Amino acid sequence: MQKEVELRQQAQRDIQGLIVKLSEWPDQSGDLLDIIDVLAQVDKKIGTVRNPEALVNRLVNYIRSVAIKGRLHFPDDEEKLMIDLGTIGQKAGLNGAYMADFSDKSQFYGMLEEVPQH
């Protein structure tokens, strides 16, 4: 139980760190704003979801997918946070990765939540 709490807290620290760093980028492209939106959404949910590792795994896959499409390159600080999140997500094993559309932002929002569009 304690390990799960620590994992959630570490994920939140990494996510919040990424939000701050990415928000400071001078070029706020639509792809970057989508990534920031999803980071904020996962930050809200990470404390209550049943399987935080799978959520973080989907988050990392989403960010990598959108970054490739938008040709976004993360500086070392951001990349380190992404690697930390990737390590947390790896604990999920294959849960949440099978047949997923990594670039679909709506996977992080509930049915009654509006998905911001950029």
Domain membership of residue 4 (yes or no) is yes
Domain membership of residue 104 (yes or no) is no
Domain membership of residue 41 (yes or no) is yes
Q: Which domain holds residue 87?
A: 1-97
Task: Write the pLDDT tens digit of every residue in 57-107.
Answer: 999 999 999 999 999 999 999 999 999 999 999 887 765 555 556 777 878
Report the predicted TM-score, pTM, of the whole model to 2 decimal places. Answer: 0.85
Domain membership of residue 13 (yes or no) is yes
Domain membership of residue 115 (yes or no) is no
CATH code at 34?
1.20.1440.140
Domain membership of residue 117 (yes or no) is no
DSSP 58: H
State the total domains in the chain: 1
Domain membership of residue 105 (yes or no) is no
In 3D space, the residue among 6, 108, 113, 118 whose CA is nearest the CA of residue 57 turns out to be: 108
Task: Write the pLDDT tens digit of every residue in 47-65.
Answer: 999 889 999 999 999 999 9
